[in-house]
Amino acid sequence: MASKTLAERAAWTWYEKNKSSISWDLVTLNPPYVFGPIIHECKGVESLNTSAGLWYAMVLKGGALADSKTLADGNNWVDVRDISYASVLALLKEEAANNRFIISPGSFIWQEFVAAAHKYVPSLPAGDASIDVTKRPDIVVDGSKSKKVLGITYRTFEETSKDTIVDLEQKGWWKA
């Protein structure tokens, strides 16, 4: 998280110092955990980045099933394809100029992804249906500006889970 914050601060500092001599605007897109199909070069699950590796370990390898507390833990998230689309929208929408955007549909708890994966692959554990999925982590980001200005519609837990599983199966990195 620190690297993302420092990189954005550096970008805005550079832009403010140089905006009179450049002909473009700065837009920053700030994602939390990034889940979804693997769209970058990667040799296997052992090489997954932090977010994708965590989703794989927690959902497909059962890490979230350690206890009910883990299933009820979470954070904020976004599908990698939504970040890509937000990048395109930021280039196309004039009103995006000189803005920073949180790119996220909101928060999650692991039970939501576990249940979504189970819905697609019934042999996966369903988690604990008694967990109240309306209780959210203490830190919740607000992606409403990205919806309002960019017009983005975010993917659901179910879509991200299904498409991630399909992608990992096609790559031969996971099998139901």
pLDDT band at 37 (very low <50, low <70, confident <90, very high): very high
Half-sphere exposure at residue 79, Cβ-oriented, CA atoms within 13 angstroms: 20
CATH code of the domain covering residue 90? 3.40.50.720
On whether the CB atoms of residues 131 and 112 are closer than 8 A, the answer is no
Confidence of residue 30 (pLDDT cuts 50, 70, 90): very high
* Residue 18 in domain: no
pLDDT band per the 50, 70, 90 thresholds, residue 60: very high
Taking each helix axis as running N to C, give the angle between helix 110-120 and helix 157-171, from 0 to 180 degrees, rounded to the nearest 10: 60
Q: Determine the Cα–Cα distance for residues 85 and 92; give it in Å rounded to an integer.
A: 11
Reported as a single tens digit per residue, the pLDDT across 108-119 is: 999 999 999 999
Parent domain of 122: 31-171
pLDDT at residue 54, as a whole number: 96
Q: 140 pLDDT band (50/70/90 cuts)?
A: confident
Three state DSSP letters for 19-57: HHHCCCCCCEEECCEEECCCCCCCCCHHHCCHHHHHHHH
Mean per-residue pLDDT, 22-40: 95
pLDDT in tens, 112-138: 999 999 999 999 999 999 999 888 887
Mean pLDDT, rounded, of the chain:
94
For the segment 97-113, the average pLDDT, to the nearest whole number, is 96
What is the pLDDT, as a whole number, of residue 114?
A: 97
| 12 within a domain of the structure (yes/no) | no
Residue 3's pLDDT is what?
85
Residue 123 lies in a domain: yes
- Domain assignment present for residue 24? The answer is no
Residue 3 lies in a domain: no
11 lies in some domain: no
At residue 67 the predicted structure's pLDDT band, cuts being 50, 70 and 90, is confident
Does residue 6 fall inside a structural domain?
no
| pLDDT computed for residue 103 by the predictor | 98
Residue 145 lies in a domain: yes
For residues 143 and 12, give the distance between their C-alpha atoms in angstroms, rounded to a whole number.
20
At residue 88, the pLDDT reads 98
Phi, then psi, of 39 in degrees rounded to 5? -105, 0
Its pTM stands at: 0.93
Q: Residue by residue, what is the 3-state secondary structure of 127-162?
A: CCCCCCCCCCCCCCCCCHHHHHHHCCCCCCHHHHHH
Specify the number of domains making up the chain.
Answer: 1
